[in-house]
Amino acid sequence: MTGPTVRAVIFDLDGTILDSEPAYWESDRAFLAGWGMEYDAATNEAMAGRGARAFMEIMEELFPGKAFHRLPMEERIRLKDEAYLAHARTRVRAFPSVEAFIAWLHGRGVPMAVASGSSREVIDATLDGAGLLWRFPVRVSAQDVARGKPEPDVFLEAARRLGVDSSRCLVLEDSLNGARAAKAAGMAVVALPPPARPTAPRTRPRTWSFPGGRKPSTWRWCWSSGISGRPPPINETGPILADRACRIVPGSAAGMSRRPRR
């Protein structure tokens, strides 16, 4: 059964657009070790999709009494971001298939946004490094809202800035916390599995469940008559899951971002 008409697409950043999760794991593990905290794979998995402030609050619960926690919150976030960007700025690239899908949407005038738990500085720096900053004039950080994922605030704010009702938005996510946030915002959501890497510490549940007990089914694209052709596939990393079928309608080219001249 065909679901809602999609008029905007909102992307998570890390692990969805950017192949950045291994870099985050390496950077966070080394950074926290320098402050006497042993950051393991299970903790890293639980952090997936959460914002920087929530990350720091959980670290304080897991590792009480550390000198790091006596620093102001914004200073802790700044230091962690600096460590990550120093490690990842030249390492992180976009997933080719997702980058192609972004270009496909852009060419049809479909409004897009990024809604991420990362800080504004990290969002801008890593998108710029991947050559995609110009594609996303609307970028929402967990720093911009009261609550990070799994609460819906970042997605609701992205929809507000796009000027599109949340029920007409499609979200692409790689984390369970992010998928739950999108569902709580009343949006259709596509779950993208992570690449299979022998050294990757993070895993995903075989099946995700959402509020109401409904499980996602195999993704099916349903096209409106206004779109010609099929989009590039975005399932190079494994099966894609979605909670409902959707149809994406083209938008207006007016107001779409353009590649900056160099």
Bridge partners, 5 (sequence order): 247
Bridge partners, 112 (sequence order): 9
Mean pLDDT of the chain: 78
Q: Which residue has the tokens 């972004």?
A: 102
Contact 51, 152 (CB under 8 A): no
Q: What is the pTM of this model?
A: 0.76
Nearest Cα neighbor of 177 from 8, 15, 36 is 15
Of these residues, 12, 81, 153, 243, which one is catalytic? 12
pLDDT of 167 higher than 60: yes
Sheet harboring 217-218: ordered strands across?
139-141, 112-116, 8-11, 169-173, 188-191, 241-242, 217-218
Distance CA 17, CA 259 (A): 18
The CATH number of 2-19+92-248, from 3.40.1410.10, 3.40.50.1000, 3.40.250.10, 3.40.630.30, is: 3.40.50.1000
- State how far the alpha carbon of 242 is from the alpha carbons of 21, 182, 210, 218, 233, in Å: 22, 12, 11, 6, 15
Has 12 been annotated as catalytic? yes
Distance CA 155, CA 113 (A): 9
Domain boundaries, the chain: 2-19+92-248, 21-88
Contact 242, 217 (CB under 8 A): yes
Lowest mean pLDDT among 12-26, 57-71, 152-166: 12-26
pLDDT tens-place string over residues 121-161: 999 999 999 999 999 999 999 999 999 898 999 999 999 99
pLDDT of 209 higher than 50: no
